Copies of this chain bind each other. A is one copy, B any other.
């Protein structure tokens, strides 16, 4: 077949790019650090990912083989919210674990492409360009990108070791009308912080008084190492249906399955349904069915205990290693009660961004500078902090990595 013969310059697609894509989509600082880790053949405390050792590969493979033997996984699925059996399992589990309010059941649950798609749908449903979204300080980078994509103005609320400071929240909502507050209440990414129960109640009260919604992102829920996880915001809010709850199977099973969920109020069900239709219809049903087959057969409590034991161990190794290598240098880090992350303070006056680049290039150890976890315009607030993860690193590598990190700190501090 003949192609067009007249030779000409490429069509200028860059000039056709939407405002959304042109102005709201920055480069990911985390992505940049991960690339630097790979380029430099570095060890990494950067990746906030589950350990490959912990994926239940055999069981999931069997469950998926079973799923692909089912006759109803092949055609279009006309329930845009996903497989009802899996949604019922989630509703049952959440109820049993004191996470679900009385008004919600499987009809309020939508299965998503990981927790990220849940956040994307919530944002499309609720955010107009220019709308204010309140976030923790620091907060999860990908959610910031998702909010920003829809044109939200993200403003961070000052936080301490117990998460959002209620008085700071009250101060901001008294002067500006926010669309919602976004929070990761348990073992937060990136700070590892958990919001205590009394503070959750206080925050809900402030939001109720100022009529602001809350979006709860809780993917680390089951990864608690020092006791039971606290009651979720959506449950604490009770009949006051102002909370949307998002979660994920990425940490419980494996992130490669790309499966998560959101619990949404009745008032938003039809909207989420149309949003789903406009972005590629449903999500792969066989994956949902496989997850359901797996969950129906697994000893869930045992699975959770195994995850806790393994990651608790890694946390211990990293905390010990910090005490050995970083504490003597005067570097302060926190002790997370669960999840994957430890948050550290840079020595006074030292830039986390500059240090992270130095450390990965010169000492072959990757960490993520705090700047990655602040809204556009507030990045500098994070330049005095850094995130480390123990989730994906073996015990041997943790000590070797910490040795390198300490060496980098010493060189950087002596400059």
- Distance in angstroms from A281 CB to nearest chain B CB is 5
Do residues B55 and A61 form an inter-chain contact, with CB atoms below 8 A? no
Q: Which of B4, B13, B257, B278 contacts A268 (CB 8 A)?
A: B13
Do residues A49 and B65 form an inter-chain contact, with CB atoms below 8 A? no
- Distance in angstroms from A270 CB to nearest chain B CB is 8
Cα separation A213 to B131 with both chains bound (whole Å)? 32
List residues of A (7-40) whose CB comes within 8 Å of B's CBs.
7-8, 10-14, 16-21, 25-28, 31, 34
List residues of A (102-151) whose CB comes within 8 Å of B's CBs.
112-118, 120, 124-128, 131, 142, 145-146, 149-150
The reply on A285 being an interface residue by CB < 8 A is yes
Closest to A112 in B: B280
Do residues A142 and B265 form an inter-chain contact, with CB atoms below 8 A? no
Chain A interface, number of residues (Cβ within 8 angstroms): 104
- Distance in angstroms from A297 CB to nearest chain B CB is 16
Cα separation A179 to B34 with both chains bound (whole Å)? 35
Do residues B278 and A75 form an inter-chain contact, with CB atoms below 8 A? no
Do residues B265 and A281 form an inter-chain contact, with CB atoms below 8 A? no
Cα separation A128 to B23 with both chains bound (whole Å)? 12
**A127: which B residues are within 8 A, CB to CB?**
18
- Distance in angstroms from A392 CB to nearest chain B CB is 9
Given contacts A11-B213, A20-B128, A126-B18, contact A4 B237 (CB under 8 A): yes
How many identical chains are in the complex? 2
The reply on A73 being an interface residue by CB < 8 A is yes
Do residues B61 and A10 form an inter-chain contact, with CB atoms below 8 A? no
Do residues A49 and B74 form an inter-chain contact, with CB atoms below 8 A? no
- Distance in angstroms from A31 CB to nearest chain B CB is 8
- Distance in angstroms from A220 CB to nearest chain B CB is 16
Cα separation A55 to B118 with both chains bound (whole Å)? 30
The reply on A231 being an interface residue by CB < 8 A is yes
Closest to A51 in B: B75
Query: Could you name 24 residue pairs across A and B whose Cβ atoms are closer than 8 Å?
Result: A4-B240, A10-B265, A11-B240, A11-B265, A20-B150, A21-B274, A21-B275, A25-B275, A61-B65, A64-B64, A64-B65, A64-B286, A73-B256, A75-B256, A76-B255, A116-B277, A116-B281, A117-B279, A118-B280, A120-B280, A146-B279, A258-B280, A284-B284, A287-B287
Contacts beyond the supplied A18-B124, A57-B71: 4 A-B pairs with Cβ under 8 Å: A3-B239, A11-B265, A16-B180, A57-B74
